Structure 1
Amino acid sequence: MNINTAKRWFNWHKWTSLICTVFLLLLCITGLPLIFHHEIEDIFSEVSMEDHHVNQKLSQDTLLKIAELSSPGRQVRFAFWDQEEHPDQVLFDLAEDPLAPFEESKYVLLHEYTGSVLGEPKNEGFMYWMYRLHTDVFLGIGGKLFMGLMGILFLISIISGIVLYGPIMRKYEFGMVRKHRAKRLKWLDTHNLLGIVTMTWLLVVGFTGVINTLSDVIVVLWQQGQLAEMTADYKDLPKVESTYASIDLAVQTAEEKLPEMETLLIAFPGTAFSSNHHYAVFMKGRSELTSRLLMPVLIDAATGEFTDARKMPWFVTALFISQPLHFGDYGGLPLKIIWTILDIASIIILITGVYLWYLRRKATLQFKSKTTTIHEKQAIE
């Protein structure tokens, strides 16, 4: 690599890193508790657990009525199940309008055997703040896209750092830290070593983070593409206004069509994830990997009959895989601990990078000051 090429790569590395550093520090710091969000939520959860002595679950239609009676003026628009983390429970999302933002939702968690209210989770508290700061800094889709731009700059800084590291380390042993040399060299070696060791993880987390910031865009593309195709025959029909078909029937029909999968979520008619005529029953696989991949089954909300089911497009699948991978949510506690160590290493890399820039800038200013003084003396003489 000639000196001009090296200088060009160095400038790319320096400026992309400096521009995104503050935001990356925010992401790394807020990301630490989010790695353990399940464990933290369980500790501080106000959900009451109860023993039941009933041998049969209540019908989902009965639970739906209980949820709606608990919040007059609102209607259920989503129902969630998570048998691994929260067995025998169903979470209902209620809102005054099916298309209202999620910030206006009220959540009711019911016991499937007794119908008792176990809790009413709210969009507030420490984990909610950490999540919003991490994803969109409370600026909605604009904040997400801005964080995505910072993620792209971060990826450029990593790639340029890798390009620079190769020629530099040809002269030295891998992992060298010059502890007995100048302070700046010691910090530079530490910065380079941590950067190259965590390189793969940084690329994975940075890339999946960028994909996650595009979640709203990806959902819109799916709505305008696949979902529109699946509901094309219903496009010009009037909205279903009468009583909807049983959601027990909708779930049963979906599970009969896809017996190798289980129900995760029902989107009710009129929401952004269904149509005015359908329940969208989202099914998930039963293995660790396929449990992250969803498949929508559309059920006619008037008759309870099957309409269509399709695998999600590749870009939606990429989003589903990226979300848990970004937080180390695939391999249980051991992987989360590894993610935490690497996250802390990233914070050190960012801080040492800024410190190195400060030392270099300080040295440059001092050199310019001395040069100016010498020139002034020479002019006087």
Structure 2
Amino acid sequence: MTAAIQKDTVQKALSAHAAIGLVVSALLYIVCVTGTVVVFYQEWQRIEQPDAPEMARIAPETVQAGIARVLATEKGKPRTTHLYVHLPVPDLPRTTVTTDHQAVHLDGAGRIAAREENGWSEFLLALHYTLSVPGPVGITIVGALGVMIVALSLSGVIAHPRIFRDAFRLRARDRNGIGLADWHNRLSVWTLPFILAIALTGAVIGLATVGGYGLAAKFYKGDIEATYAPIFGGEGKPDARPAPLPDVAATLRHMAVRFPGVRPSYVILHDPGTAGQHVQVIAEHDRRLIYGENYAFDAQGRFHGAAGLADGEVGQQASASIYNLHFGNFGGLPVKIAYVLLGLALSVVTATGVSIWLGKRERRGVHAPRLRSGWDAVTWGVPLALALTLLARLLIGNSAPFVAIFWIASALFVALAMAWPSRRTKRGMQWSLLASLLGSLAAAIV
């Protein structure tokens, strides 16, 4: 009797262990899939709001007038501490002003044309960055998953000494899962440099938050902004006394004359309308991985210096290059397409890795049809849930509850698949995914 109880307890513990492993693998799969889709983050914004005004460039005086118009609409509200102007760039040729209270598009004359409505794109980016978990917890979890991908990649290479020699060997599909394992191994080898680059940069982006808080607590009395100041530049001294708006037009004219080879992408007003205000311009550099250089100006448009992201210390340049390297924001459309294809391969590697593990358990006599069906639901249910959120955006609008739709749908698909483990459930999700994608395409065209 005691032996039977112990055996039953061990079996339950093993099942719980396997279930926990599947949950972690599912989160890893979600990060891989969303990372693949978010490569076209800027293009998704244009699909979401196709009627927003677009322009190749905008005059400095027009930017100045647009800022004044936007802030004039906020009289009576708490003062905006940071105002961002997204300037037209090739991938997103729009001028957008974002304050603490609103985000609006400007037309070519600097008039407020429409509210920015890119809720789905922002949901997608947040899902990839934080798994929809607010605060530093979510991004830390994603960073830890990046470390896990690095560990899995390196251990996979070490565990298969013939992996490079057999890089192009593909055996036929059979019941023992040899064909699936071959595809898993081959895709892992073919994409290994990409996987390591993506995983390492993702881990750095995710865990930098934890590191920043740790450094702030140890060396900067908890001031997180002071922690990042040596790399990205610091904030000015606050002075809340009222003052005229900064001369952004003079700032942009100065940029055009002094730095003609760079392309301004953002203008940031720190504490606008106060005596302590200052202006920061982020400008892209051609043939560089850095997201841009940070140029500092005072309220009168006088240049105060650059942060050094383009030509400073190696660590600064590396820090400024991580984001573009992770998301493929360099080299234009060809690089983005390559990142999508490589991201799909990484998603397949993640999905097939768990399937291979489940197959090995079955060959040892550990049959878990519910776990197998649950993983099939993750493999096909996550893309289906994403497709449903996109369809909701196109049919319902910017206010659709994207987070609730994604997580509830994903959980429901897994629950149904585990309750009724059947190939019909898997095929139903595959057909539903196709129908959702076609529906989204039709809604976008209409």
Q: Into which bin does the TM-score normalised by the smaller protein fall?
A: 0.7 to 0.9
User: Is 1:63 the equivalent of 2:69?
Assistant: no
- Structural mapping, 1:1-381, within 5 Å: 20-49=24-53, 58-72=61-75, 73=77, 75=80, 77-87=83-93, 89-95=94-100, 105-112=101-108, 114-122=109-117, 124=119, 126-139=120-133, 140-167=135-162, 173-179=166-172, 182-214=175-207, 216=209, 223-225=225-227, 227=229, 235=237, 238-270=239-271, 277-289=276-288, 292-301=290-299, 303-312=300-309, 314-315=314-315, 317-365=317-365
Deviations 1:48-93 (A, max 9, x none): 4389xxx977443322221123444264622221242455x53211
% of aligned pairs identical?
A: 19
Deviations 1:187-207 (A, max 9, x none): 222221221122111111112
Aligned residue for 1:329, secondary structure, equals coil
20 and 151 in structure 1: CA distance in 2 versus 1, 3 angstrom threshold: farther
Contact persistence 2:248–2:279 (CA under 8 A):
no
Q: What is the alpha-carbon distance in structure 2 between the residues aligned to residue 360 and residue 117 of structure 1? A: 60
Q: What is the alpha-carbon distance in structure 2 between the residues aligned to residue 287 and residue 117 of structure 1? A: 31
Contact persistence 2:170–2:182 (CA under 8 A):
yes
Aligned residue for 1:91, secondary structure, equals strand
Deviates more, 1:153-162 or 1:257-266: 257-266
Structure 1 position 176, deviation (Å): 2.3
Contact persistence 1:35–1:328 (CA under 8 A):
yes
Q: What is the alpha-carbon distance in structure 2 between the residues aligned to residue 193 and residue 296 of structure 1? A: 42
Long gaps (5+) in structure 2 = 1-17, 217-223, 368-446
Counterpart residue type for residue 306 of structure 2: A
178 and 212 in structure 1: CA distance in 2 versus 1, 3 angstrom threshold: same
TM-score normalized by the length of structure 2:
0.63
Counterpart residue type for residue 277 of structure 1: G
Long gaps (5+) in structure 1 = 1-13, 96-104, 368-381
Contact persistence 2:167–2:189 (CA under 8 A):
no
Contact persistence 2:201–2:322 (CA under 8 A):
yes
Contact persistence 2:212–2:227 (CA under 8 A):
no
Counterpart residue type for residue 321 of structure 1: S
Larger Rg: 1
Contact persistence 2:87–2:96 (CA under 8 A):
yes
Aligned residue for 1:144, secondary structure, equals helix
Equivalenced residues, count = 331
Contact persistence 1:47–1:119 (CA under 8 A):
no
Contact persistence 1:265–1:282 (CA under 8 A):
yes
Aligned residue for 2:320, secondary structure, equals helix
Q: What is the alpha-carbon distance in structure 1 between the residues aligned to residue 164 and residue 59 of structure 2? A: 67
Counterpart residue type for residue 106 of structure 1: Q
Q: What is the alpha-carbon distance in structure 2 between the residues aligned to residue 180 and residue 245 of structure 1? A: 67
366 and 268 in structure 1: CA distance in 2 versus 1, 3 angstrom threshold: closer
Deviations 1:255-285 (A, max 9, x none): 55544334332222339xxx98342322424
